[in-house]
Structure 1
Amino acid sequence: MASQVTFIGAGNMASAIFGGMIEAGYPATAITATARRRETLEPLEARYGINVSTDNDAAVANADVVVLSVKPQLMREVCERLRDVVQARRPLIVSVAAGLNAETLDEWLGGGLAVVRCMPNTPSLVGAGASGLYANARVSEQQRRLATSLLEPVGLVEWVDNETLIEAVTAVSGSGPAYFFLIFEALEEAGKRLGLPADSARRLALQTGFGAARMAQQSEFEPAQLRRNVMSPGGTTERAVHCLEDGGLRELFAEATEACAARAREMAAELGKKD
């Protein structure tokens, strides 16, 4: 019998996750999603056949897993209102909210709970996501497997043993899609400056990014070797790559990801501070 999974919040990330679960064979009847307004839920009920509710307490009362997918700024209010029913049921808690650590969530929910923090990314919406997961000490191996099974249908799942590494996950894969979108923008603009029509430049940039990622995933070689394989001595690619290296590309990525991780730490402190 499938575990009962309740999603508190039914936005894009939640619908991507339970949509992926259903596509992978998880029974829709074992999934419940909640939202403040019924009109938000009706299209999801019709499309996926899941249970829906505007009553968070009722939705959690029989849940084995509660996925917290509301905005971080709303999380404290939501958790504190759920405290009694969560303490009575004691489900596995999975949070997909950025900037809130497991201890803070556990405290808001009354304490003593199994909590998994998850940092997914937006490509989860197309089944190509990458999620970093951290489990507190109360999470059993069975619950870890269950959490993995929820996220794997929408992409890669990587567990980290130290919660501080979730900030690194945020910097690399959580925010990472934006870095690649920026690269696609820049490459498209460069192609246009060289005379390519805008639509051709975009298609070439996007397909090249897709092909490079797919090649890197399937190859036995690490990315550095794949790069060297494209760089013929004295050739066009070598000159372009040297230009990027001389321009400080690696240092920029190091600075950008550190800035991202620092902001994640700041958010955790801001959102989790006590009254």
Structure 2
Amino acid sequence: MTVYFLGGGNMAAAIIAGMVRHGGYAIHVVGRNAAKQQQLAERYGVAISSTLPALNADDVLVLAVKPQDMQAATAGIDTGGALVLSVAAGLTTATLSRWLGGSTRIIRIMPNTPGQVGMGMAGLYAPAHISAADKAFTETLMRTTGQVLWLPEEDDMHRIVGICGSGPAYVFYLLNALQQAAQAQGFDAAEARRLSLATFNGAVALAAAADTDFAQLQQNVTSKGGTTHEAIETFRQHHVAEAIAEGVAACVARSRALGLQFAADTQEVR
């Protein structure tokens, strides 16, 4: 059995990193970006090519190209009965099946880039006809990147995209903002980066260890009239929490829009 990746971008790299770290997988990356493929080959020791070899039922094909490029990328592919795992946000199993010549052995996965360091969170969805063996294999594979959550409905994948799939970008955005704020207070770039990372890492570790609501943890360090209170009140005045919620909602809406854009017909639109 070989796990073939169609596309070698960030999401593919996150999954490949976990698989290599765990060991025991034969991995082959297919793509048009020769530089990226060479980097993957050198870093992880995977096989690479510009075209997809013939597949059979024992193989796995991971679709890891952008949703907008998926139809062109899958044109003419004969899955040979292989298990197909799709990373593409918004694209339903029905749409993918249509593009893959009627193949229905398809599971959708939505990992995130922290999978590169074994700290990922992946949402998984399998239609009712998918075998228990295929679901078990997919879960085992994705657990090499971190945690997994099976979703009961395909529409739930849009929400996973908004929270976990795109979520690391939100954290990096906040990290960058804190680093810039630290530099504005007179710390140099290296010090600001170190302070920001340590603060985020420490807060996340404390939250994970404590059986306490996030809101209560925030209150625990927010004395009325104190220094933290001034910062939190400023965030509230600028509606930071509301802006984050609106951003997540916009991400989910975009995922749904992509699904509608490529839907085969009105029966596929829910």
Instruction: Compute the TM-score of the two structures, normalised by the length of structure 1.
Output: 0.85
Superposed CA deviations along residues 104-129 of structure 1, whole A, max 9, x for unmatched, are: 00121122512111222222233322
Which residue in 1 is equivalent to 2:67? 72
Q: 2:58 and 2:69 mapped to 1: Cα distance? A: 21
Q: 1:42 and 1:195 mapped to 2: Cα distance? A: 41
Contact 1:92–1:139 (8 Å) recurs in 2: no
Counterpart selection for 1:31 from 8, 27, 30 = 27
Which residue in 2 is equivalent to 1:7? 5
Which residue in 2 is equivalent to 1:165? 156
Superposed CA deviations along residues 138-196 of structure 1, whole A, max 9, x for unmatched, are: 22222122111222222222221111121111111222222222212222232233333
Describe how 1:200-211 pairs up with structure 2 within 5 A.
Answer: 200-211=191-202
Q: 2:28 and 2:180 mapped to 1: Cα distance? A: 44
How many equivalent residue pairs?
A: 265
Superposed CA deviations along residues 244-272 of structure 1, whole A, max 9, x for unmatched, are: 22332221122111111111111222234
Which residue in 2 is equivalent to 1:126? 117
Counterpart selection for 1:258 from 227, 242, 249 = 249
Which residue in 1 is equivalent to 2:268? none
Q: 1:13 and 1:172 mapped to 2: Cα distance? A: 15
Distance 1:122 1:40, change over 3 A: closer
Describe how 1:41-120 pairs up with structure 2 within 5 A.
Answer: 41-42=37-38, 44-58=40-54, 60-61=55-56, 63-82=58-77, 85-86=78-79, 89-120=80-111
Gaps of 5+ in 2: 266-270
Gaps of 5+ in 1: none
Greater CA drift, 100-109 or 135-144: 135-144
Contact 1:4–1:65 (8 Å) recurs in 2: yes
Amino acid at match of 2:30: T
Q: 2:177 and 2:44 mapped to 1: Cα distance? A: 38
Amino acid at match of 2:167: G
3-state SS in 1 of match to 2:148: strand
Contact 1:72–1:271 (8 Å) recurs in 2: no
Identify, as 1 or 2, the structure richer in helix.
1
3-state SS in 2 of match to 1:56: coil
Superposed CA deviations along residues 177-223 of structure 1, whole A, max 9, x for unmatched, are: 22222212222232233333333223211221122122222222231
Q: Aligned-pair distance for 1:101?
A: 1.4
Contact 1:12–1:125 (8 Å) recurs in 2: no
Report % sequence identity.
39
RMSD, matched Cα = 2.4
Distance 1:109 1:239, change over 3 A: same
Q: 1:192 and 1:19 mapped to 2: Cα distance? A: 33
Contact 1:5–1:63 (8 Å) recurs in 2: no
Amino acid at match of 1:9: G
Amino acid at match of 2:28: T
3-state SS in 1 of match to 2:28: strand
Q: Aligned-pair distance for 1:21?
A: 0.9
